[in-house]
Amino acid sequence: MKLIRFGKSGEEKPGLIGPGGERLDCSGWFGDWDRAFFAAGGPAALAKRLAAERGQLPRVAEEERWGAPVARPGKLIGIGLNYSDHAREAGMAVPEEPIVFLKATNTVVGPYDDVLIPRGSEKTDWEVELGVVVGREARYVESVEAARGFIAGYCISNDVSERAFQLERGGQWTKGKSCDTFNPLGPWLATVDEVPAAEALGMSLTVNGEVRQNGSTATMIFKPDHLVWYLSQFMTLEPGDVITTGTPPGVGMGMKPPRFLRTGDVMELAIDGLGRQRQVCRNA
């Protein structure tokens, strides 16, 4: 299944992508794709109902905004330097353990919403990433192999970052990762059965039509199952939490000379099987 949300910001309703690519409204069946939905085994219940009643779902109007495919998560967890080729680009050693940081959860916006360049920013950067959505509570998961059962699905995540705030203003990375609109998600959440090989997905990002990132999750150092297992040893992962898993080479900070986003720039992102995003940059 491919889960979506649609409607005005703060008023989104749940839906899904139909067999012909159309958006279908599921708000008559469920309240939202949120923590309660995933905790109650909602994807299985939705699949069962779809098998019997798919034809009863109304279509979503074309003009309806695309929201993030999951409701505002309890936690948005980032993983740094998680691609071997990106670590080389940054001139840094491959991490022995995942580098973990948190982003503010109100950074999450829809896949086609504007990205706001913060006041005073000179170094706003792009990062196409695979987002992993937690499907059920994960606490001290016993093994990497068992971790797959705690994943609800995958989506595109744009881990937008302000590098001066992140690296030059002291402290941890939070300031450079948590500005408004700094995590577009979607367009859909593909459940695990839709993505049999999350470890080998092509991914790309362009700015104003120029290719900046063109990589694959195959160069990811710590794979999604490992990350769920690892994080569960330190914190309880809750249903609906999102893990954004790192980026391949081609970020603006790594270019020579570095290049960063300006108002009017257009970012377009894609990951195999997970659709496409498009954002226009505006000044906050």
pLDDT at 54: 65
pLDDT tens profile 93-104: 888 999 999 999
Q: Residue 192, Cβ neighbours under 10 Å: how many?
A: 18
Residue-level pLDDT at 84: 85
- What ranges make up the beta strands (E) of the chain? 2-6, 13-17, 23-25, 66-67, 76-80, 99-103, 108-109, 115-117, 124-125, 128-134, 151-158, 161-162, 183-184, 189-191, 202-207, 210-216, 242-244, 266-271, 275-283
Low-confidence stretches of the chain (pLDDT < 70) are 54
Q: Which CATH superfamily is domain 68-283 in?
A: Fumarylacetoacetase-like, C-terminal domain (3.90.850.10)
CA angle 239–76–273, rounded 5-degree value: 75
**Sequence spans of domains, the chain:** 2-66, 68-283
Q: How many whole angstroms separate alpha carbon 103 and alpha carbon 125?
A: 15
What letter would DSSP give residue 73? P
Residue among 28, 20, 114, 35 nearest 70 (CA): 35
Q: How far is CA 65 from CA 4, 276, 277, in A?
A: 11, 15, 13
Alpha helices in 40-162 (DSSP H): 42-53, 84-90, 144-147
Compute the residue count for the chain.
284
Cα separation, 237 vs 251, in Å, equals: 29
What pLDDT digit, counting tens, does each position of 19-73 carry? 999 999 999 999 999 999 999 999 999 999 998 886 789 999 999 999 999 999 9
What integer pLDDT is reported at residue 181 of this predicted model?
98
* Cβ atoms within 10 Å of 227's Cβ, excluding its own: 25
Distance CA 189, CA 111 (A): 11
